[in-house]
Amino acid sequence: MVLTIVQAGELVLRSQARALTRKEILNLQTQRLIEEMRETMREAPGVGLAAPQVGVSSQLAVIEDREEYHAKASAEQLAERGRRTVPFHVVINPKIVSNNEAGVEFFEGCLSVAGYTGIVPRYRRVAVEFLNERAEPVRVEAEGWYARILQHEIDHLNGTLYIDRMHPRTFCTLENYERLWKGASVSAAKKKFG
């Protein structure tokens, strides 16, 4: 079942989500929610979806960056972003345990701020500890676009949207991004935006 993705303005997107217990993770309701979130993310399509985005205040997100999503980007753009295929996985009660101080900026969008994008600074690399859908502990060392996805989804679980972190003058519609900025470098776009 495809779930409704709530949009900016809904309080659930601005609240700290509740951590899940092992028992809650393993129960049928959570397992069903994971499958519905997977289907919803793919239908959108998106590379990540946090439970608050479907109206559920739980520390749970699903992530998947499929190869087919890379088709519209050039090899140069994929390399610049450090973007690679990321298999489907579930992230529960995540914590960023380390990051490198070197940041990187790219245009970023969100299924809960539909139709818009802006340049957002993020850490290039992060280490994240979380539980998977079997309540097993996992630690990942992520870089590039995968690190960006993790930071974006963890922000959702803490009541933060990318618009809170973006350079405000770079906020634009997806239509204008496609028309004006898609082929431009982020530094060139930032200069033009002033």
Strand partners, 170: none
Query: What percentage of residues in the chain have a pLDDT greater than 90?
Result: 84
CATH fold of 11-193, please?
Answer: Peptide Deformylase (3.90.45)
> Going edge to edge, which strands form the sheet with 172-173?
103-108, 116-123, 172-173
How far is it, in rounded angstroms, from Cα 11 to Cα 91? 22
Query: Is 86:78 a contact under the CB 8 Å cutoff?
Result: no
The first and second tokens of residue 134, run together, are: 């079997």
Could you tell me the CA-to-CA distances from 140 to 66, 129, 151 in Å, in that order? Answer: 18, 7, 12
The first and second tokens of residue 44, run together, are: 């959108």
Query: Is 160:135 a contact under the CB 8 Å cutoff?
Result: no
Q: Given a cut of 90, is residue 188 above it in pLDDT?
A: no
Which residues in 17-38 are b (16+ Cβ under 10 Å) and which e?
beebeeeebeeeebeebbebbb
pLDDT mean across residues, the chain: 95
Query: Tens digit of pLDDT for each residue in 54-108?
Result: 999 999 999 999 999 998 888 888 888 899 999 999 999 999 999 887 789 999 9
Query: Tens digit of pLDDT for each residue in 114-139?
Result: 999 999 999 999 999 999 999 999 99
The first and second tokens of residue 120, run together, are: 């957002």
**Which among 129, 71, 123 has a CA at the least distance from the CA of 96?**
129
Which active-site residues does the annotation give? Answer: 153
